[in-house]
Amino acid sequence: MTPTFGTDLDDLMVSPQASILDVMKTIDRTGLEVALVCDERRKLLSVVTDGDIRRSLIKGMPLSAPIKNVGNEKFTSVRNETTRMDALELMLKDSFKCLPVIDNDGRLVDLHTLSTTLRGEKNESWAVIMAGGKGERLGELTKGIPKPMLPIGDRPILEHIVRLLVTHGVRRIFISVNYLARMIQDHFGNGSDYQCSIEYLHEDADIPLGTGGPISLLPEMPKHPLIVMNGDLLTRIHLGRLLAFHRSGDYVATMGLREHIVQVPFGVAEVKDSMISKLVEKPKLNYRINSGIYVLNPDLIPTIPKNCMYPITDLLNGCLKSGKRVGAYHMQEIWNDIGLPDEYQRVHIT
């Protein structure tokens, strides 16, 4: 696991015997306002900040004193499996500037910092979120609220998506709106509260544009691969890996896929020439389903028709018919599609 910031993790590590002055130089050199006190096995012993050193000097400790008695030994940390989004939420909730990542033996393996996690890895791609649908399959749940604004935990589904994009470095986000659009616009505004720029693609109330048509409303053409996501998803997909996959395969478009297993509740007979060739007891059928997450090359955007219903799958099928490469990205991360009341209740409760 590599550091989530530009500085090498080893540059932040100091010995318990290092002097206060040396640690001050480390903090000044790295610019991250923190040093990590570790033993020879990289076990994290304490976290030292500018404030810790200032307080020690006020108490009269000399600059030559060892750092081991200065830092916070009761630091908060997370494990390898903690996602960047979860780390960000913890730092925001508890006003932490950094969050060490340790393994099961307490050894330092990474460090999340608030500034770089909010900023994310450099990502020139824009994103379009499809949030104009009425969500009619959810019945009464969406009578007075757009489906993407249904709450999951303490924030709407759509806010979870925006935060995911931001934590992966996406800074320009377009949201397609139609049904109860004002509710979405009032919540997100221009995106400044979410460390990004949010613009709105307004569909005509009488002409729904489907899952692909709103892309034609972009005010200008992107210069980098465009991320497109349905507005009713809960996922922790790693967008950096998705984009890297797209680029490495020289694809014009990529679709995120999820494994979906169907358990047949009966024994199944395979038949050939009016004879049973094989009996399979209650087989499991394994499908790869469309996750509602895509990457599109900029040169595809002008081919999307304007002012009409246009499913994004029509665009992908057109690419396939013309022999263009369409990538299949197999997602492993958490993914939920909030399409039916039972699905919403299950995700909402968990």
Domains observed in the chain: 9-119 (3.10.580.10), 127-349 (3.90.550.10)
Question: Phi-psi bin for 226: left (phi > 0), alpha (psi -120 to 50), beta?
Answer: beta
Residue closest to 16 by CA, chosen among 30, 41, 31: 41
pLDDT, position 5:
35
> Distance between CA 232 and CA 161 in Å, rounded?
9
Residue closest to 77 by CA, chosen among 98, 101, 95, 93: 101
Q: Which residue has the tokens 């002008």?
A: 302
In the three-class reduction of DSSP (H, G, I as helix; E, B as strand; rest coil), residue 192 is classed as helix
pLDDT, position 134:
72
> Distance between CA 25 and CA 199 in Å, rounded?
43
In the three-class reduction of DSSP (H, G, I as helix; E, B as strand; rest coil), residue 306 is classed as coil
The DSSP 8-state label assigned to residue 339 in this structure reads -
pLDDT, position 177:
96
Residue closest to 181 by CA, chosen among 160, 158, 200, 165: 200
Q: How do beta strands 34-38 and 78-79 pair?
A: unpaired
pLDDT, position 88:
78
Q: Distance from CA of residue 55 to its chain's centroid?
A: 38
Q: CA–CA distance from 268 to each of 88, 281, 297 (Å)?
A: 49, 6, 43
Q: Residue-wise pLDDT tens for the chain (350 aa)? A: 333 333 467 788 999 999 999 999 998 887 778 899 999 999 999 999 989 999 999 999 999 999 998 989 999 999 877 877 778 778 877 778 788 989 888 999 888 876 665 555 568 999 999 998 776 666 666 678 888 998 888 889 999 999 999 888 899 999 999 989 999 999 999 999 888 999 999 998 888 899 999 999 999 999 999 999 999 998 888 898 899 999 999 999 999 999 888 999 999 999 999 999 999 999 999 899 999 999 999 999 999 999 999 999 999 999 999 999 999 999 887 888 776 556 666 666 55
